[in-house]
């Protein structure tokens, strides 16, 4: 069974440019998360979806970040415009049902803003 | 506020036993999970405690005391491949991660 797939793995952009990340969760997992992880820190939740509904986006900086999960499967996370402080690893995870018992993570996208 | 506290770093030798503690303060609590993350890799699930007590999975065990807002991960018979970061995570209607404990295993 394929795990959570994210692309791209690495992205380098100049500040003020837009960037988008893509995530394909494990088949059948209706809960999808986007996390941000800075070096030496734990993952921080940006947004959580149950199917196509964003049930928790309280930590998403909505002035520059947006996300969507059309049809309740794949998801994209966008930053526009990117700032230097956005440099981090962006992790996508999925879980079965609405339980937070076990989340499966993708390899992440390492974003560098220069 | 919500906070999870873990030691930042732990060192041990192969074959030893190490315990990584986690104390938490969150609004809402359903359970405590542990994740392992190797450098450059994805966090991977290790264990979950929804009830007080000890859960054992091979060389790894996890403990929870809800009344003390405390849990720990116990790693036995340490191997070099166990060198990684370990995160406790609280299920508080969303998964909240601690800052992680970096474990270094020496030969």
**Looking at residue A1, what is its pLDDT?**
65
pLDDT tens track for A18-53: 999 999 999 999 999 999 999 999 999 999 999 999
For residue B92, the chain A residue with the least C-alpha distance is A100
DSSP 8-state class, residue A64: T
**Looking at residue A98, what is its pLDDT?**
66
**Above 80 in pLDDT, residue A99?**
no
Residues of A in contact with B98 (CB under 8 A): 42
Residues of A in contact with B33 (CB under 8 A): 100-102
CB-CB neighbours of A93 under 10 Å: 29
Which residue bears the tokens 């970096």? B102
**Looking at residue B2, what is its pLDDT?**
81
**Looking at residue B93, what is its pLDDT?**
79
DSSP 8-state class, residue B81: G
Distances (CA, A) of A45 to A11, A22, A59, B56: 20, 16, 7, 28
Helix (H, G, I), strand (E, B) or coil at B102: strand
């Amino acid at each position: 069974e394929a795990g959570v797939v994210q692309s791209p793995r690495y992205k380098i952009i100049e500040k003020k440019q837009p960037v988008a990340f893509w995530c394909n969760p494990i088949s059948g997992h209706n809960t999808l998360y986007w996390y941000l992880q800075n070096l030496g820190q734990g993952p921080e939740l940006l947004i959580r979806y149950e199917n196509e509904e964003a049930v928790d986006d309280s930590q998403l900086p909505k002035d520059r970040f947006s996300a969507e999960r059309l049809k309740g499967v794949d998801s994209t996370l966008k930053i526009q415009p990117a700032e230097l402080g956005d440099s981090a690893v962006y992790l996508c995870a999925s879980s079965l049902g609405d339980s937070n018992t076990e989340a499966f993570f993708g390899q992440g996208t390492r974003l560098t803003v220069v | 506020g919500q906070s999870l506290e873990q030691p930042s770093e732990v060192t041990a030798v192969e074959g030893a036993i190490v315990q990584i503690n986690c104390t938490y303060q969150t609004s809402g609590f359903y359970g405590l999970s542990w994740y392992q993350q190797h450098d450059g890799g994805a966090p991977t699930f290790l264990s979950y405690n929804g009830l007080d007590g000890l859960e054992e999975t091979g060389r790894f065990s996890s403990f929870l005391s809800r009344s003390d807002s405390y849990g720990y991960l116990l790693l036995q018979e340490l191997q070099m491949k166990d060198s990684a970061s370990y995160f406790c995570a609280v299920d508080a209607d969303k998964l909240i991660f601690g800052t992680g404990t970096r474990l270094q295993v020496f030969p």
